[in-house]
Structure 1
């Protein structure tokens, strides 16, 4: 059984593609009643995901903050603040670009379609803890117990590790392809699947163009506006980016990313302290891609786009939830589903669709995350350089004052 789970996680992307193909085949073969039962099962799985999500969010947030105890306090604080600002900037870029790209490219065709497939049954599980309270509890508890080593901290660390592994790897991840498949059957029965995927294929290409422009501009800026240096910095990170693309894991790319960051920053002390921490919380690909796709889905399903105030509230929780992202394929979108539902008005079908889009684009998103972490090291290196330069200038001025007094 353990080998079966390991094989599933290793080939999760392939399993998802196979499940989508099978769901389309079943939509042609099965009776409407059988399809209604499959849709009902998907809705039930959605309820299970939402029921377990507070535990997953709390455990991942605790893990993240508890292990921030590594390294100096100043280094950690500067790194975390920079990561939050970078994620927030990326989220607002995704929001802004979606108004330029998504609005003209999409039509509200889906809202006009007649719903042909309804679930055979429904079961609503109680919401026992709000996700934002679970997030805050995990963050605060992790910070408090990371200040001073204790037996309680170690026990909660082990408990959260085993709990995350059980919920994510043994329950939610195996259910995810079934959850998506049921809603794909519904979209196919409603006659909109081919139209939506044709449109979103073009949007995916546009999103990749946005990624390229953003990464080039940030690397160019952190390289002192010098093209040759920009080329060298990007070239050093590309092997790590390829590993992230092929393995769909930023952690798998961490060793190569560490080597690249050491080359780009001349062995800066920030690299060893911040890069392992930022790998799972500084997610440029997610921060641009998820809001971009979310705005496109709102337009597709006939919902109004959020105004600046409502998007600001969403972006705050969006940035905070990065501290609870699980390092597995599709983990970035799983913890975002409750936020998308609560603050952007997503329904279950929209959640299934954005989950499928995210997983299909996960290799590209992970590649961008790895490149974004390489860029973060350059930003922090610039901060360290400015700080050291200021110290040198202060010492030089102090020596001049002493010389004049003498």
Structure 2
């Protein structure tokens, strides 16, 4: 609370009233103030975290109780089957258990190779890399469209000493590289199934074929959209203009005028120059290669599980099916694609002439075949999604507990090391301090 002495202005007599003044220093740039009538609402980081926590709990509920709940009884029943003793299944099981370490930690770290090292001399610790990939995987798993991790990556890069504009360009380059790597292996699989004439002509299933085609097209359009946003400065200006109109309509605080927005986005070419420097580089080719290897390992895990459980040799067919199913399902707005990816995989099997059944199975074994399909999908999702999500949650919980414990011990140590005389002097100074 501050007081304004208005009686000193131009010698005029004004009633001295308490006036609430909100400072607009650099510290308050982290807050955005929304004005509704006479009231001000401060939405700072604390409120954002609370809102995010509520959405997270809601997402977890939808994920495990509504879309497609995990049947733990099925998980236990899988290891009571005869095929679990085979060498093939045990080998695939070992690969699945180490999948998160190989695919989401080691290879994910390589996607940043050659980018951060050239921008800052700060050496990043192993624990920081584990934090980055665990948190990003966690966020992707519990958000619709698997989005939400990009802002965290930008914040993490800034924390490592990378400027904000540079970090945004790096994240844009990584996102586009991911789409390119996905298209590099998905469209050949789609064309391969057509060349082999593997698509069924059943009228009742034909609608799902077109749904998958639309999904592939949407994925391609999404990659072009991300590239356009990153490269075209007019898109940045249009987004800022929409935000400006929105703020004016709802009487929100407007920091820049339209002319200033034009100068910032249309005349300023620094972001475009930074993006071109980062994206059009040999490092991007290496990043695309690493992302391609990640996708190949992901889809190979499913194909190997199908071969081990069903005992067939249709590795490439299973690889093509899971490849197309995953890419065409990317636009479905469920957390981690839970529920929708299982549906898409099953429809892909029904659309091909080589369904997920063993050649030795007969029509009377239809129920057993369906159970086998569910087992393959469940195990693949376990190694690819559920196990990493569980490990990430355990790591984040343990690390958070460690940080809280460390801060508590530090406070206790400081409290015990401060002498009584110093503590008394501090209290007196604090009491005599006059607010400015």
Q: Give the TM-score band, short-chain normalised.
A: 0.3 to 0.5
> Between Structure 1 and Structure 2, whose CA radius of gyration is higher?
2
TM-score relative to the length of structure 1: 0.36
Q: Give the structure with the larger helix fraction.
A: 1
TM-score relative to the length of structure 2: 0.34
Q: Which has the higher contact order (CA 8 A, sep 6+)?
A: 1
